[in-house]
Amino acid sequence: MRRLGAFFMALSWGLQAIALAGDAASDLQRPRVPPQALAAAQALHNPLPATSEVVERGRALYYGKGFCVACHGRDGRGITDVNPTMLTGALPTDFTQAEWQAARTDGELLWVLQYGSPGTAMASFIPAVLTEEEAWQVIWFVRSLGRP
């Protein structure tokens, strides 16, 4: 009887993992910006040049003042060593995924840094933590994580 109970528990966890994986794949394409603000966010372009100096300043902010590393990880893949059933909302974004990089404009990323990401633990960082200029620098660093 114990084996049967363990089997059904394992089956339940496996089905939950499959459902979460499917949700994660479709969630990758779902905009984080509300529909009424999406067009305006997508129209924004990073005003800073993509120089190595700007990317390096963004890297320093990612690991330091912006503390992005706490959730998105040292390599930008997001924290993955957690039990997803213990969390509410989506896991932190994996910035190295080409599909995610292609699906998000710089303006959308700035909007999320300014207002947070509804349905996730991502909070607003502008202006409480980062200035807008610093946010644009972080965005260039995040973009660099998606390059091979």
| HEC letters along the chain | CHHHHHHHHHHHHHHHHHHHHHHHHHHHHCCCCCHHHHHHHHHCCCCCCCCHHHHHHHHHHHHCCCCCHHHHCCCCCCCCCCCHHHCCCCCCCCCCCHHHHHHCCHHHHHHHHHHCCCCCCCCCCCCCCCCHHHHHHHHHHHHHHCCC
Tens digits of pLDDT across the chain (148 residues): 444 343 333 333 333 333 344 455 456 678 899 999 999 999 999 999 999 999 999 999 999 999 999 999 999 999 877 776 766 677 789 999 999 999 999 999 999 999 999 888 899 999 999 999 999 999 999 999 988 7
Q: Where are the domains of the chain?
A: 1-30, 31-145
> Domain 31-145: which topology?
Cytochrome Bc1 Complex; Chain D, domain 2 (1.10.760)
